[in-house]
Amino acid sequence: MNIDPLSDGHIHTHFCHHAVGTMEEYVTAAIVKGMRRICFLEHMEEGIQSSRITWLSEADFDEYFRLGKALQKKYEGSITIALGVEVGYNPECSDRLLERLAARDWDQIGISYHFHRLQADEDHFNVVSKSDRRVFNISLQEAEEIQRQYYRLLIEAVHILPGTLLCHMDGVLRYYPERGRLAPPWELIDQLLETVAQRGMTLELNTSGINIRGEAFPGKEIRMRAEEKGIDFQAGSDAHRPEDIGYCFERYVNT
């Protein structure tokens, strides 16, 4: 597996309401670390009911692009700054997501799936977060079905959305206490990888997983299967603080 350790393709800022630091603070931190390229990948969600907002509004994206373009000019010659989006798939709002994506000139479109409906009358359940306490209370049977639905909907998302990157592929239920008992649905994982390959997308090596489980997302077995299908990798720290840029990239160079 080959990655560029001097390019970080997944960075968040204060715009997403759960990260800290301005865009410029991330840029200057990246320059100090000797990075050649960074890509901001801010959250887009549509139709999600949640008391905790972790994504940008259209007004936020207007300001994000205004500041980002200014930083590209200011730091031209020092570092390449890309402006991307991490779009969370919601099958109920796919048309609206397509409209919003088509309205802007993104340098990169990352696809992910964060929010799941447990019950029709409840707020969406964030399947990749520990801030939603429901992750600690679901049964093993419920977790198995959430995991299968996660991969089924990622397959659908990759077919429908104009994505260039698949983010933190096996990050579903990463804080579930019984996660070690969940058997990976390999038939769905292989189908997702095949779809990624057919679409010519890149698979993210997301090093935020190291602090959570001691290994990047996705795990080694998935990475091996992806390589067999000729899928390229891109390193992303999923930084939520400027100091997290490029986190542990060196661990995965030529592995």
- For residue range 232-255, list pLDDT tens digits in order: 999 999 999 999 999 999 999 987
Per-residue pLDDT averaged across 173-177, rounded? Answer: 96
Q: pTM of the entire structure?
A: 0.97
- For residue range 55-74, list pLDDT tens digits in order: 999 999 999 999 999 999 99
- For residue range 125-158, list pLDDT tens digits in order: 999 999 889 999 999 999 999 999 999 999 999 9
Per-residue pLDDT averaged across 90-108, rounded? Answer: 98
The predicted pLDDT at position 118 comes to 83
- Tokens 């500041």 correspond to 67
- For residue range 22-32, list pLDDT tens digits in order: 999 999 999 99
The predicted pLDDT at position 255 comes to 78
